Amino acid sequence: MKVRLHNTLTGQKEPFEPADPNHARVYVCGPTVYDYAHLGHARCYVVYDVLVRHLRSNGMRVTYVRNITDVDDKILKRAAETGTEPTALAARFAEAYSEDMHRLGNADPDIEPRVSTHLEDIFALVQRLIDGGHAYLADGDVYFSVESFPEYGKLSHRDLGKMKSGASDRLDETKTARKRHPADFALWKKSEGEAWGWESPWGRGRPGWHIECSAMSMKHLGDTLDLHGGGLDLVFPHHENEIAQSEAATSKPFARCWMHNGFVEVDKEKMSKSLGNFFTARDLFDRIEPEAIRYFMMTVHYRAPLNLDWTLDEAGNVTGFPQFEEAERRVAYLYKTKQRLEALPPKRVIDSDGPGPAEISGFSEALRESLNDDLNMPVALAKLADFLKAVNELCDQAMKKKGKAPRGSVEQAQAGFAALEKELGLGAEAAEVILLRIRDRRAKACGLEAENVEQRISARTEARKSKDFAQADRIRDELAALGVELLDGPEGTGWTMAD
């Protein structure tokens, strides 16, 4: 089965067919770095990370380009608010963004261009549009003429006659009168006085938002991309404008497939600072394992809204995120299962000709088929649940008295975990490390310090050695009342937090 993706341009699910069948050229709009990455960013870049992983798992070479917008009016505004030099502010948040993406398990793109290092490419593209009659100068600004591109509106299915200016919230109202049509958009913006800017053929200024991505993507991937992705909020005006300026310049299709992920909502309202339901990824990293955030992003189809619920105390303070907490439990179960498989004694694994469980032997292919169908991650997670259940049953069978596990099934289970990491980016950490981190975070949330729990366990161990079983039981019961579950074993007593 070939990879099939929903193409926003046609509104249809179609086979993904790059111009070169063996090489996909993928461009995804990156962040404007004036603040920390929020949950909308987290969802977007997890989606495209999985897409790239999946294409590569299918044997396709992928050149993945994801830009950094480090020149923008939003950066200038935030810099003024904070008394920071704009370039330094953008550099700081770009570094923070990269750190957050790594914590979410996203691989780096092959190329990560920045606006500040592609100004000459922007100049060349703007001049090409002016020369072709698609752009015009107006008092130091340069605007794209939407009326010069008859297909304007084809991505967002909008009527040019009904469009208004300033849809991106990046246009000063005083500049509207300079435009020939209300929907014309800025390719170059004049810098007033000593404001942040660069010298250009049209005077000192800054590039408009939309021209940046066209210049950077065509610089690194050519005139026609195989796939262009981003959030649903970018369909209009950003991606519509990218199409117009790119195709006006080259007379070629700008992208063969357009892919867009849905919004993150909180209590069924779009996440936004104005509604007070805005969370950065960093807000949550102290509360929830980052891999659990990644897992949660996969629980709903990428094109659908992803609704996040929260719990509040009487004062209105956020006390928890039930869906993230459930995702963390599932991630912990994944790693416990992987840990059990890795710990199987070699003497318990035997050669056998019998067929193994289909949930194990067929998992890698089931995972691939799920993602081939418009990157259906919820179905992939359902297949994962069946796989993990079967692996635990395999381990149970092996650890029974005189129990054994077929070598073929064990090897298929190992291959399944490898496929999981390769396709979804889950299960890549050392099990003991992430499980310990989850345990200690849960304990701290309950007001417990791991060191104090260990001290109580040591006291219980001493009581048992002294045959003071009543005291040992009291300590066990006290810890249980605090949510601590003791795990007695041949090598001593471990502990975890009860679900």
Q: 62 and 130, same structural domain?
A: yes
In a domain, 390, yes or no: yes
Please report which helix (H) or strand (E) contains residue 265, including its range.
strand 264-266
Asked which of 265, 293, 317 is the last residue of a domain, the reply is: 265
pLDDT tens-digit readout, 391-424: 999 999 999 999 999 999 999 999 999 999 999 9
The token pair at 86 is 């704009």
Q: 154 and 187, same structural domain?
A: yes
pTM across the whole model: 0.94
What does the pLDDT average to over 426-445?
95
What does the pLDDT average to over 35-55?
97
pLDDT for res 194: 73
In a domain, 181, yes or no: yes
- Of 173, 176, 203, 168, which Cα lies nearest the Cα of 189? 203
Number of Cα atoms under 13 Å in the Cβ half of residue 328: 24
pLDDT at 22 over 80: yes
Q: List the helix and strand counts (H, then E) for the chain.
A: 16, 19
Q: 167 and 257, same structural domain?
A: yes
Q: 225 and 186, same structural domain?
A: yes
CATH number at residue 85: 3.40.50.620
Q: 84 and 32, same structural domain?
A: yes
How many domains are there within the chain? Answer: 3
Query: Residue 164 carries which DSSP code?
Result: -
In a domain, 15, yes or no: no
Q: 249 and 143, same structural domain?
A: yes
In a domain, 388, yes or no: yes
Asked which of 238, 265, 292 is the last residue of a domain, the reply is: 265
Burial of residue 280 (CB within 10 Å: 0-12, 13-18, 19+) is middle
pLDDT at 190 over 80: yes
Q: Which has more confidence, 198 or 173?
A: 198
Q: 227 and 360, same structural domain?
A: no
In a domain, 295, yes or no: no
In a domain, 227, yes or no: yes
pLDDT band at 276 (very low <50, low <70, confident <90, very high): low
CATH number at residue 392: 1.20.120
Domain span at residue 154?
20-265
pLDDT at 168 over 70: no
Q: 200 and 53, same structural domain?
A: yes
Asked which of 227, 248, 265 is the last residue of a domain, the reply is: 265
Q: 474 and 338, same structural domain?
A: no
Q: 477 and 384, same structural domain?
A: no
- Of 221, 194, 210, which Cα lies nearest the Cα of 243? 210
In a domain, 314, yes or no: no
In a domain, 198, yes or no: yes
Please report which helix (H) or strand (E) contains residue 312, including its range.
strand 311-312
pLDDT tens-digit readout, 80-113: 999 999 999 999 999 999 999 999 999 999 999 9
Q: 456 and 415, same structural domain?
A: no
What does the pLDDT average to over 255-259?
98
Q: 459 and 367, same structural domain?
A: no
